[in-house]
Amino acid sequence: MKASAIVAHGGFEGLRYIDLPDPQPSQKEVVIRVCACALNHLDIWLRKGIPAYRLELPHVPGSDVAGEVVAVGDGVTNVKVGDKVIVNPNLTCGECEWCRMGEDSMCDSFGIFGAKCWGGYAEYAKVPARNLIPMPENLTFEQAAAFPLTFLTAWHMLITRAGLKPSERVLVVAAGSGVGVAAIQIAKLAGAFVIATAGTDEKCERAKALGADAVINHSRENIAERVKILTDGRGVDLVFEHVGHEVFERCLASLAKGGRLVTCGATTRPTASFDIRFLFSRQLSIIGSMMGRTSELLTIVRLVSEGKLKPVIDKTFPLSEAVKAQEVLESRNFFGKLVLVP
Ligand SMILES: [Zn+2]
């Protein structure tokens, strides 16, 4: 099969369009023909190489996949050849204490599809059968690939970890990112007042079109100062943050007393400094979050199939142009998801 695989860690030259053996399903596994695979920032970390993921090269990245079942291994009963499916990116043992509590992303051997095993930057992908979910009928393959990981991450952050309540005021940082477009929609669905930040006026307009009640162009406005103006000096109840170093302190400064900051990702630098006195005197909370539960993903799939949440695609690329797609992802010059089509 053709694949855009990581052959060496480092720059874009480490991602190459090459031939790899076709995958064969083992017991309780399925092979799907990949019809679309969305990019995530994780793909860039995998290419560059990070300690959390020790990869055997070549490695096929790609965590968000929609496709068609072409082969099933022994013992597979939940899908059959020809079924259109999406892939739940949570790879779990199903047996540890955390799995039994339904806390997938805390599984002792947790991994993400496309990181722990080969993913969707290829014509075919091998997937554990229990990770397949029927594809919503109202979506194209590209749309179906463009929501699982980011909507799951945003849902777990806003609803489960941060306990967002109706009428609360939320600041969504970097609205044009994959998790940003998900967070705006989820927060609106939850009844919140949403302030979104983006780096260009065009992205601010698109954030408004998605439902944001107010927008901040962070390339020329101070986020914390603007939030204070938009909230009559009070600040927001919740900050949805995934950029890290570049904005962390300003995000904390945007919080109302008793406010929460929920974070994942750290796409700029992973360290941040802040005044601890500011944290305790204003009784703030910083909440970590990563991926989410399969039960949450099933809720999201239902809401997407009902049209209440919508995947947002900026651009699609042929699989052979994965480098070009990753260049756009690193440039931040996009709104929503970038999708590869084999
Ligand atoms: Zn487990």
Distance 265 CA to ligand 1 centre (A): 22
Distance CA 135, CA 83 (A): 9
Q: 107 and 219 share a domain? A: no
User: Residue 288: which H helix or E strand, with range?
Assistant: strand 285-288
Answer whether residue 59 is part of any domain: yes
User: Residue 217: which H helix or E strand, with range?
Assistant: strand 214-217
Distance 133 CA to ligand 1 centre (A): 19
Give counts: helices (H), strands (E), the chain: 11, 17
Strand pairing class (2-6; 214-217): unpaired
CATH number of domain containing 253: 3.90.180.10
Distance 111 CA to ligand 1 centre (A): 10
Answer whether residue 294 is part of any domain: no
Q: 189 and 233 share a domain? A: yes
CA proximity to 172, closest of 228, 232, 220, 240: 240
Range of the domain at 43: 2-146+311-341
Distance 221 CA to ligand 1 centre (A): 44
Tens digit of each residue's pLDDT, the chain (342 residues): 999 999 999 999 999 999 999 999 999 999 999 999 999 999 999 999 988 888 999 999 999 999 999 999 999 999 999 999 999 999 999 999 999 999 999 999 999 999 999 999 999 999 999 999 999 999 999 999 999 999 999 999 999 999 999 999 999 999 999 999 999 999 999 999 999 999 999 999 999 999 999 999 999 999 999 999 999 999 999 999 998 888 899 999 999 999 999 999 777 788 888 999 999 999 999 999 999 999 999 999 999 999 999 999 999 999 999 999 999 999 989 999 999 999
Distance CA 42, CA 114 (A): 9
Q: 331 and 243 share a domain? A: no
Q: 114 and 199 share a domain? A: no
Distance CA 313, CA 136 (A): 16
Are 217 and 204 in contact by the 8 Å Cβ rule? The answer is yes
Q: 258 and 336 share a domain? A: no
Answer whether residue 301 is part of any domain: no
Are 59 and 5 in contact by the 8 Å Cβ rule? The answer is yes
CA proximity to 299, closest of 147, 172, 178: 147
Distance CA 35, CA 322 (A): 14
Q: 164 and 100 share a domain? A: no
Instruction: Provide the greatest CA pair distance for the chain.
Output: 62
Q: 118 and 101 share a domain? A: yes
Answer whether residue 297 is part of any domain: no
Distance 110 CA to ligand 1 centre (A): 7
DSSP annotation of 158: I
Are 41 and 265 in contact by the 8 Å Cβ rule? The answer is yes
Say what the pTM is: 0.96
Q: 15 and 117 share a domain? A: yes
Answer whether residue 300 is part of any domain: no
Distance 106 CA to ligand 1 centre (A): 7
Three-state SS at 307: coil
Distance 337 CA to ligand 1 centre (A): 29
Q: 164 and 249 share a domain? A: yes
Distance 128 CA to ligand 1 centre (A): 15
Answer whether residue 114 is part of any domain: yes
Tokens of 39: 């990019």
Tally of domains within the chain: 2
CA proximity to 41, closest of 284, 266, 289: 266
Q: Side chain identity at 98, as an amino acid letter?
A: W
Q: 169 and 37 share a domain? A: no
